[in-house]
Structure 1
Amino acid sequence: MAATDTVRIDFICVHNAGRSQMAAAFAERERAERGLEEVVEIHSGGTDPADEIHSEVVDAMAEEEFDLSDRSPSWVVLDDLKDSHYLVTMGCSITEFNPAQYGVESRAWDLTNPDGKDMETVREVRDEIERRVSGLFDEIERTAAESDDESESVTARVSSAVRDALSF
């Protein structure tokens, strides 16, 4: 990934109190583990945020060494979504906007809402989110590598043409 490239990921749901919070936390960890802090921006928000993150989500994430107790659900700023490279919805019905209208890569992760579910179900949702976030980062790195390869290939062809023209 070129140093000047920035990739923005938005995790969006209605209440920003469960799935999108877990996805953002896992994405922050993936970003740090892969050394992508300077090139990946992570945002999460809801179209109708709850007052607090679901307690079962806080508990399930604590099992994985995440402290979500100091986080709060927040509003998604719809106009900011046009800058998103990956717009990920969590499987909730979000009628306030159509992700396609922003002209960005959008994903609909059809995930069970953990609110009020037993801990086994919440853990299953958590683990599925972790897998999907890791896969998304694999894709981001793969896409960046392909883009870098194409850029290097063009640069090599131009350099070769210049050398030929100058008889080097």
Structure 2
Amino acid sequence: MSDNKPSVLFVCVHNAGRSQMAAGWLRHLAGDAVEVRSTGSAPAETINPTAVEAMREVGIDITDQTPKLLDYDTVEASDVVITMGCGDVCPVFPGKRYENWKLEDPAGKDIEIVRPIRDEIKARIEHLLADLIPTN
């Protein structure tokens, strides 16, 4: 952990939708208290425009994010690894906390379908944050 800050890595296949929304929520809700990373096992060329739109609706701008390729160093440097359907390609290191969030993939979906995915991700992020940074 850098500066005693927990670091969280979100991993999905394309790093264009779910993982980007999750990273956006965590940055928004945690501020500088958590180091946030997101990658994909087979990154897309660009972030999902519907995911961008869904996050914009709640006041979070993720347009500056780009899909990045998952690598071992990033996993090794993270305290918590949250996977979202990346399958067996996610490396496992001893001593890391792993969670697999089963979420619908927003790829190719209309905004009406992406909104509930966005909202479920927010609820999971709030739960994760309460666990990572307990309030006394």
Structure 2 length normalisation: TM-score? 0.89
Aligned counterpart, 1:80: 74
Shift of 1:76: 2.0
Aligned counterpart, 1:111: 103
Q: What is the DSSP-based 3-state SS (H/G/I as helix, E as strand, rest coil) of the residue aligned with 1:131? A: helix
- Given the alignment, which residue of 46, 61, 66 partners 1:67? 61
Q: What is the DSSP-based 3-state SS (H/G/I as helix, E as strand, rest coil) of the residue aligned with 2:58? A: coil
Aligned counterpart, 2:38: 44
Q: Does 1:132 align with 2:124?
A: yes
* Alpha carbons of structure 1 residues 98 and 71: separation in structure 2 relative to 1, 3 Å: closer
8 Å Cα contact 1:17-1:53 kept in structure 2 = yes
Q: Does 1:6 align with 2:1?
A: no
8 Å Cα contact 1:60-1:119 kept in structure 2 = yes
Aligned counterpart, 1:162: none
Bigger share in helix? 1
Paired AA for residue 69 in structure 2: W
Partner deviation per Cα, 1:98-137 (whole Å, 9 max, x = no partner): 43x3430000000000111122210000000011001100
Aligned counterpart, 2:23: 24
Distance 2:109 2:52 in 1: 13
Distance 2:113 2:127 in 1: 21
Greater gyration radius = 1
Paired AA for residue 86 in structure 1: V
Alpha-carbon RMSD: 1.9
Aligned identity (percent) is 35
Q: Does 1:95 align with 2:88?
A: yes
Q: Which 4+ stretches in 1 moved above 3 angstroms?
A: none
**Matched residue count:** 135
Paired AA for residue 103 in structure 2: L
Q: What is the DSSP-based 3-state SS (H/G/I as helix, E as strand, rest coil) of the residue aligned with 1:12? A: strand
Unaligned 5+ runs, structure 1: 146-168
* Alpha carbons of structure 1 residues 93 and 44: separation in structure 2 relative to 1, 3 Å: closer
